[in-house]
């Protein structure tokens, strides 16, 4: 069984001003894949906090996959992609490209998402937008390849 984490990036959620829906949806999708969601947290829109959490979960906790939700837009506080880029070893652009292209068919503004995906060692890290609908739509696009990506990163196949 694979182990995963869901990191929600939201100033308002972190301050308790808004209940998280997107992260819970992401947890449900990972669970459907048979991935044990071992870590879940809500953090502020802060590059250092996001990066430290990703490193901790990948390096110390040994998670196979981390999904982030939020902080991928154009607002000045949206810094999840920047934090992710500081911790990944290699980008996996096809995941983010597929999510943007498919979701843009329904909502053209999806092309403005700056989400990235990549790996840190054996851990797959994927940024998702913050809205519940976007989390559902994006995960439905990439869900079929997540187990295969985790297996390859873990050295279990080609």
- According to the model, what pLDDT value does residue 154 have? 95
Give domain status of residue 50, yes or no: yes
CATH number of the CATH domain containing 93: 3.40.980.10
Averaged over 86-114, what is the pLDDT?
96
| 60 in any annotated domain | yes
In a domain, 133, yes or no: yes
For residue range 104-147, list pLDDT tens digits in order: 999 999 999 999 999 999 999 999 999 999 999 999 999 999 99
How many domains does one find in the chain? Answer: 1
Domain membership of residue 115 (yes or no) is yes
Q: Which domain holds residue 8?
A: 3-153
Residue 9 CB contacts under 8 Å (≥ 6 apart), including other chains: 42, 43, 44, 45, 50, 68, 69, 70, 71, 80, 130
Is residue 42 assigned to a domain?
A: yes
Domain annotation covers residue 158: no
């Amino acid at each position: 069984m694979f182990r995963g984490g869901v990191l929600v990036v939201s100033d308002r959620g972190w301050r308790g001003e808004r209940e998280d829906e997107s992260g819970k949806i992401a947890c449900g999708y990972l669970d459907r894949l048979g991935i044990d969601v071992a870590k879940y947290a809500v953090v502020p829109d802060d590059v250092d906090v996001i990066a430290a959490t990703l490193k901790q979960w990948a390096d110390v906790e040994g998670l196979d996959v981390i999904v982030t939700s939020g902080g991928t837009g154009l607002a000045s506080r949206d810094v999840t992609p920047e934090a992710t880029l500081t911790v990944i070893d290699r980008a996996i652009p096809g995941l983010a490209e597929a999510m943007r292209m498919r979701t843009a068919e329904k909502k053209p503004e999806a092309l403005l998402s700056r989400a990235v995906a990549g790996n840190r060692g054996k851990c797959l890290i994927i940024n998702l937008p913050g809205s519940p609908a976007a989390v559902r739509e994006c995960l439905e696009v990439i869900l079929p390849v997540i187990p295969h990506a985790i297996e390859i990163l873990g050295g279990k196949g080609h």
